[in-house]
Structure formats: structure tokens, C-alpha cells
Amino acid sequence: MNSLTMMLAASEGGDPPNPIIPEWNEVIWGSLSFLILFTVMAKYAYPAIKKTMEARTEKIQNDLDAADTARTEAETLRGEYDSKIAEAQAEASRIIEAARGEAEQVRQERLAAIEPEIAERKAQADSDIEAAKVRALTDVRAQVTSLAVGAAEKVVQSSLDESAYTRLVDEYIESVGK
């Protein structure tokens, strides 16, 4: 026998117990222990731990429910915001369209307002031009008349009958002026 075997083995002496038939003292200590354990477990430990676990289950359930609710709410809110944004965009494009229309209208009005003036001015310019033309023609006729008279006087050197002469010149000018 050696030291380690000694440590493992039980002590010598005393009647060795039967390996199968239970000993009364061991049965009694075992029953006592199991009874106490069962009492503590049934009255104290199991209900307490069950309560904790149920509380956790409930809390997790509640949290999940709350998260679900929050998600639904958030989705509703998002839908609202989406529709609001769409509305705002429609409004903005409507405003822009209106402004564009207004500008067009103003332009048309301005154009309409300015047209008679332009026409008037154009007419006036036309009449001015006409007048100037007439005046110039008259001037030219007078000049040509006097020039022709001078030239004729110089050519003829004699005084013709004034009236016959004027008629002659007039005829000439008439033919020239045409």
C-alpha cells in the first residue's frame, strides 16, 4: 500500500457496511437533506426565480410591443411628411407657374400699351418725311425755275413776253417734274 492509495481509501476498522443494503444513518441524513431542499425549493427558490424570469419575459414582450408601436408611429409620421413634402412641391411649382404666367401677361400688356405709340411715332415720322419731301420738291422747283429763268434770260437776252415765257417754263418744268 502506498500514500496515495491511503488517501483514496477509507479508514480501516469498524464493521464494513454492506455495499448494497442502505444504512439507516445515511438514509436519514439523505431524506433530511432532500426534504429541506424540497421545502426551500418549493417555498422560496423556485417562486422567486420564476418571478424574475417571468418579469423578464414580460419586459421583453413589452419592449417588443413598444418597439412595434414606435415603428408604426414612425411609419405614419413618415407618410405624413411625405405627403406634406409632395404638397409643398406641388405648391411651389404652382407658384412658379403662376409667376411665369403673370410675367407673360405683363409683357403682353406692356407690348400692347407701347404699340400705338410706336405706330403714332411711325406715322408722324412718315408724315414728317412726306412733308420734307414736298418742301424739298417745292424748293427744288423754285430753284429750278429761277435757274431756268436766269439761264433762259442769258440765252435769249431779250425779254420775251413775261407771261408767255412763264407758261413755256412751266410746261418745261411740268415735263421735267414728271
Which amino acid, residue 35?
L
**Residue 46 binds to another protein (criterion: CB under 8 A):** yes
The smaller minimum CB distance to another protein, of residues 10 and 113, is found at 10
**What is the C-alpha to C-alpha distance for residues 32 and 21, in angstroms, rounded to an integer?**
19
> In angstroms, what is the minimal distance from the CB of 36 to another protein?
5
**What is the C-alpha to C-alpha distance for residues 88 and 78, in angstroms, rounded to an integer?**
15
49 grid coordinates:
426565480
- Out of 25, 157, 159, 163, the only residue in the binding site for another protein (CB under 8 A) is 25
**Residue 13 binds to another protein (criterion: CB under 8 A):** yes
Closest CA to 169 of 158, 150, 157: 150
**Residue 48 binds to another protein (criterion: CB under 8 A):** yes
Closest CA to 160 of 176, 171, 149: 149
- Out of 54, 55, 75, 130, the only residue in the binding site for another protein (CB under 8 A) is 55
Which residues contribute to the site for another protein (CB under 8 A)?
Answer: 1-5, 8-14, 16-34, 36-38, 40-42, 44-46, 48-50, 52-53, 55-56, 59
